[in-house]
Chain A
Amino acid sequence: MTRVIGLLGALAVVLAVRLAPAGDSTAGASAVMALGFVLIVSFLVGDAVALAGLPAITGYLLAGMVFGPYVFGWVDPVFSVLSRESVSALRLLDAVALGLIALTAGGELRISAVKRHWHSISGVLGGQVILVFAGMVGGVLIARDTFPALNAYSKETALAAALLFATVALANSPAVVLAIIQECRSRGPVTDVVLAVTVVKDVVVIALFIVVLSVAALLTGANGGFQGGVLLGLGWEVGGSLGAGLLLGWLVAMYLKHVAHEAPLLVLAVAFVAVTLLPAWHLSGILACIVAGFYIENFSEHGDDLIRAIERHALPVYVVFFTMAGAGLDLEALATTWPLALYLAGLRLGLTAAGTALGAAWAGSPVNVVKHGWSGFVAQAGVTLGFAVLIQQRLPGIGEEIMTVILAMVAINQLLGPVLFRLGLRLAREIGAEEISPGLAGEETQNR
């Protein structure tokens, strides 16, 4: 009850400020107020939905949607606490969040676990890449006559669109996977395999996307078509990011060893700098952070220090990240293209489940991975949205429409994914390492 009062109080503060006759103020002030509001409200909503057995990040997403530009903002702009300006100001935190997520993903990836589940990982990855990619291309081409949006395309354009949808469908969100794993404190084969596949697939999908985008440009005749330099650039991006990541990991490990003081702040700074700085040299800051985290966990003695430093302060960053993702979910796109988006999301879901199960079964994985592993690959977010924007830029004309459909599909998967993954982990009985600890407390001890 006190929580509801507190929430209403926070809302009252924001509305009172909006209505007060105070004149202009500094630019930072409104962003800071929005930040405070997001932290408080999303946290409470996350806690509330957790009571219903849903993952907290679903709560953050919902809070973002409700207070974002579409729901509250639609009633009256005054009520849009997360106005477009505050949303874009808080987007600065995205760089930090992505870097932290990547560092954690690398840091959670233990060589021992990867070795133990090597067959499952390669099986699931192979199954997904083949089945999802081929199935999505086929599924889009078959459905060409059903959906007016696709019907208008020429054969080549439709193939380009199908290839792009297929690549994008392959991606899933490391952020969601990590957030759920950390929230549930899950341990076990499903957790290990989903995490490892997600991280490796991130790299595979980025590479695939660069190639497919060039092919699509060739098919639609945009921007001079396929260029040989693309492969060279790809090599530089992957190789260079690996190198940068190793260097970064070594530097952070040195810091943790020799200084150790204020590690959380250092990690925040590193995440921000890597994600903001590396793209200037056409390197992937996210990939570099994954490698850095992996190096620190597996090749230095400070893996635990790193994870602890992140865990202690990452929650606010994640809360803001997912709330902003919720506020940024394109509900307008969903409203206009929902039949096609729903079809694509459904197709992707089925193919992902089938690909994961077949790949896992073929590799002789534990039965839980075969049965429940797919649930971890549904959620989509950051990288996928980045793809959508790139498609729009590179393919003038059709890019706009493809982007809208992808945004709508992401909205569906983003809302569905966390819930499914949590459910999958529960069915696989991997949730709650903390519940195992002995519960002898409560008995009186003899103290003198």
Chain B
Amino acid sequence: MNPATVLLLGVIAVLILAGSRLAFGKRAVPAWIAPFFATGAVFLAIGALIGPQGANLFTNQILQSLDPLIVIGIGWIGFLYGTHFEWRLLRRYPITIHAATLFVSLFTFTVIAGTSWLLISGVLAPGLPWREQVAAAAILGVCGAGTAPAGVFQLSSAWRISTRNLNVLRLFAALDDLPPVLLLGLMNALLRPAAHGSPLLWIVYTIGLGAGLGMICHWLFPKGDDARHNFLILLGIVSLGAGAAAMLRLSPIFVSALAGMIFANLSPRKETAYGMLASREHTLYAIFLLMAGVLFRFEWSAVATLLPAFIGVRALGKLMGGYVSWRLFLARSHISPLIGAGLLFQGGMALAMAVSYDHSHGDSMVHQVTTTILVAVVINDLMAPFIAGGVLGARRQK
């Protein structure tokens, strides 16, 4: 590695370290740009600016040496994500809320994936093998279905929204990435070259790997309070799982998330593990986004076609899905029928899943798809607070 690049990496590392507190802390960032910071999209932008299509500061060798870091980062995020879902906590909420969340998420997925598939197979890439067409459409749906909790959790600081609506929005945002993560796991198992054998086998592999790692983590997580040992075992499990999944071309996010879920429901030490994973959340996310920005190849053609469709259809899907699920499950409560307007924030898991897809797929649609998602995240985060605040009947507070 040449000295100048190493020095540069060092300087960038320090900038991230100093910057991540500024970005994710509650500093006085102007309200209109706060979600841009809170969702971390700002690091994505910096990464893109210093990447090959921007200032091009990195050699190919450095880009390749980022590869393991990305795999670990994806695994860490997946595991952390999974540890949230503890049955004991989940069942505290009525089944109607879960049904509503599930419905909006799956509805949005279907609408986005369907529209994207029509666009891709009809207009953009009719000649592409069907597996790749479906994969591209599905990943767009997967990344569009969820809501970034960061934006929703910050909404109340700038807008006045009724507590009921806000609580439901938070719950939606906390849960609605779960169906996409499951779909992602399924997708990686099903959409494989025929030479790999029966898709059923790969579903078994995916679930076996995730569940097995969750159990291993449960067995091995230290009983003592030595933070160093806990950190070591977590890092070991995350690396083993994500590395194994990536080698098998399964979804590292799904495998790690399943492992995290199993662990959280089995182990009495889940709070310790969760605290340790979550305390690194912001720094890790900043570094991860920066690398994602660096690796990402901007594809102009996507901006004119897929991007507007994605943003428009997603908003429509959330609004319609929200309304239908309100009619079906929530009509008796004092929740706004337009609750879907509060769910337009994007980031977090959507970005992680997009990076994971970008990292593991080599087909020709990849760059268009990731461009669409990454740019959409930025646009959605800038626009979401105004739509949420405006529609759900709130004024800007002082």
The residues of A with any CB-CB pair to B shorter than 8 Å are 2-3, 5-6, 9-10, 12-14, 16-17, 20-23, 25-40, 43-44, 89, 92, 255, 259, 261-262, 265-266, 269-270, 272-273, 276-277, 280-281, 311-316, 319
Contact = CB atoms under 8 A, between A and B. Distances in A.
A67 to B, nearest CB: 13
A258 B243 CA distance: 37
Contact of B360 (A26, A38, A273): A26
Given A255-B14, A277-B6, A319-B232, A40 B237 contact: yes
Interface of B: 1-3, 6-7, 9-10, 13-14, 17-18, 20-21, 64-65, 67-72, 75, 193, 195-197, 205, 209, 212-213, 215-216, 219-220, 227-229, 231-233, 235-244, 246-249, 283, 359-360
B235 A316 contact: yes
A269 B10 contact: yes
B6 A273 contact: yes
B243 A40 contact: no
29 contacts: A9-B219, A13-B244, A17-B244, A20-B205, A22-B196, A23-B196, A25-B249, A26-B359, A27-B67, A28-B69, A29-B68, A29-B246, A32-B68, A32-B75, A32-B242, A35-B243, A36-B238, A36-B242, A39-B233, A40-B236, A40-B237, A40-B240, A262-B21, A265-B17, A277-B10, A312-B227, A313-B228, A315-B229, A319-B232
Given A261-B18, A269-B10, 12 more contacts: A6-B220, A17-B244, A25-B248, A26-B71, A26-B246, A27-B67, A32-B75, A32-B239, A32-B242, A33-B247, A39-B236, A316-B231
Contacts of B241: 13, 36
B357 to A, nearest CB: 13
Given A266-B13, A315-B228, A315-B229, A28 B246 contact: yes
Nearest to A4: B219
Contact of B197 (A13, A21, A316): A21
Contacts of A6: 216, 219-220
B328 to A, nearest CB: 42
A27 to B, nearest CB: 6
Contacts of B196: 21-23
A12 B246 CA distance: 16
B219 A3 contact: yes
B13 to A, nearest CB: 4
Contact of B65 (A13, A92, A315): A92
Nearest to B10: A273
Contacts of A17: 244, 247-248
Contacts of A23: 193, 195-196, 249
Nearest to A280: B3
> What does DSSP make chain B's interface, helix, strand, loop or mixed?
helix
A191 B197 CA distance: 60
Contacts of A26: 67, 71, 246, 359-360
Contacts of A315: 228-229, 231-232
A33 B240 contact: yes
Contacts of A25: 246-249
Contacts of B219: 2-3, 5-6, 9
Contacts of B240: 10, 13-14, 33, 36-37, 39-40
B287 to A, nearest CB: 8
Contact of B249 (A16, A22, A255, A313): A22
A9 B212 contact: yes
Given A3-B220, A13-B212, A27-B67, A33 B232 contact: no
A31 B17 contact: no
B228 A311 contact: yes
B246 to A, nearest CB: 4
Contacts of A312: 227-228, 231
B17 A262 contact: yes
B235 A89 contact: no
A43 B236 contact: yes
Given A28-B71, A43-B232, A9 B215 contact: yes
Contacts of B13: 265-266, 269
Given A22-B196, A32-B243, A315-B229, A39 B6 contact: no
B298 to A, nearest CB: 22
